Amino acid sequence: MADRKEEDTVAYEIKNGIALVKFNRPEKRNCMSPKLNRQMLRVLDELEFNDDVGVLVLTGEGSSWSAGMDLKEYFRETEEKGLPGIRQSQREAYTWWKRLRWYQKTTIAMVNGWCFGGGYGPLHACDLAFCADEAQFGLSEINWGILPGGGATKVATNLMPLRKAMYHALLGENLSGQEAAEAGLVNESVPLDQLEARVTEVANKLLKKNLATLKASKDAVKRVMEMTFDNAEDYLIRAQEALNFHDKTHGRQEGMKQFLDDKSYKPGLGEYDKSKAGTGRD
Ligand code: COA
């Protein structure tokens, strides 16, 4: 097959508030080439403030989620261009992972198959992760003579206890979906034929929440991990005050009103009805 055009390395569709974004190089097990990295950033740009999108799901076409970095196009061919080429392709990859990490919309990794090495970057960047029991996760770098770079070591130590992360990095053995869930790499593992339904169910639950609050909450979870307790307390006060400004639907007041005055719901049992709070567009 001729090389895929850059714009064909990522596919997406938007349905009922969910953007389903796919690594789209199944013939190369969706490994990440510079072309794919550039295209993914374009797609993320396009969807980030699209009002038709509430949740973004990242998955892979074919049998793979992503087989990590493209050893030929990302490593060998850019190394032939010397340091400027290497730094440029690193920037292209890290930029979209970082963009995803702090994305405006809630993001879910839907890991349908192979997930290796560099794939841990976008896996970790997604707020939630669900996988198929049939998926395989591996820090395969040790098997071909490099350390788990591109943030993969940091991902493993962020998500797993030290002993598990160390074993994972040194042995280069794969984890099944269920083992990945037990190790903390993903939230849950389900049989492949139930994966999309389960992710859609979770996405639909998220879509009922106040989207501005989701953004503030996911950022808060990620930010406070690296703060002292005092700094975290202070950050959370400031973040809520910023949210009061950014949430044009005034969800906080609406939530209190529906509970305290209308008595139409109980926050302990579910979310307020945001359809009664206006669109939030000024
Ligand atoms: N980089 C470059 N090419 C890759 C690739 C990668 N990370 N992963 C797969 N491919 C290519 C293969 O070279 C092959 O290309 P070809 O058809 O031109 O020969 C094609 O994708 C299909 O791969 P293949 O190995 O035949 O598929 P498989 O289903 O038998 O095995 C994997 C799938 C994922 C187990 C295997 O491809 C693999 O080990 N890939 C490397 C994984 C890795 O170490 N990634 C870490 C990078 S940081």
pLDDT digits (tens, 9 = 90+) for 147-178: 999 999 999 999 999 999 999 999 999 999 99
Q: Are 206 and 55 in contact (CB under 8 A)?
A: yes
Ligand 1 mutation pick, 29, 35, 65, 78, max ligand atoms within 8 A of CB = 29
- Calpha distance 178→185 (Å, rounded): 10
Phi, psi dihedral angles at 161 (to 5 degrees): -65, 160
Q: Which residue puts its alpha carbon closest to atom 42 of ligand 1?
A: 67
Residue range 252-281: average pLDDT? 89
What is the position in ligand 1's atom list of the atom closest to the CA of 144?
Answer: 44
3-state secondary structure 21-66: EEECCHHHCCCECHHHHHHHHHHHHHHHCCCCCCEEEEEECCCEEE
The tokens for 281 are 């567009």
Judge if the beta carbon of residue 117 lies within 6 A of ligand 1.
yes
> How far are the Cα atoms of 71, 152, 170, 185 from residue 141, in angstroms, in the given order?
11, 10, 9, 17
State whether the beta carbon of 254 lies less than 6 angstroms from ligand 1: no
Tally Cβ neighbours within 10 Å of residue 172: 16
**Ligand 1 atom with minimal separation from the 146 CA:** 48
pLDDT tens readout for residues 6-16: 999 999 999 99
Provide mean pLDDT across the span 269-275: 95
User: Closest Cα to atom 1, ligand 1: which residue?
Assistant: 70
CA distances, 205 to each of 2, 8, 88, 115 (Å): 41, 31, 39, 26
Distance CA 262, CA 12 (A): 41
| Domain boundary assignment for the chain | 6-207, 211-276
Cβ 69 under 6 angstroms from ligand 1:
yes
- Return d(Cα 96, Cα 13) in angstroms, integer: 19
Q: Which CATH superfamily is domain 6-207 in?
A: 2-enoyl-CoA Hydratase; Chain A, domain 1 (3.90.226.10)
| Position 260 pLDDT exceeds 60 | yes
pLDDT at residue 280, rounded to an integer: 47
- Residues 116 and 103: their CA atoms lie apart, in Å, by 22
pLDDT for 277: 80
Distance 28 CA to ligand 1 centre (A): 6
Q: Does pLDDT of 3 surpass 90?
A: no
Which H or E element spans position 168?
helix 162-171
Other Cβ atoms less than 10 A from the Cβ of 183: the count is 18
Distance of CA 35 to the CA centre of its chain: 20
Instruction: Convert the pLDDT of each residue in 36-94 to its tens digit.
Output: 999 999 999 999 999 999 999 999 999 999 999 999 999 999 999 999 999 999 999 99
Distance 267 CA to ligand 1 centre (A): 48
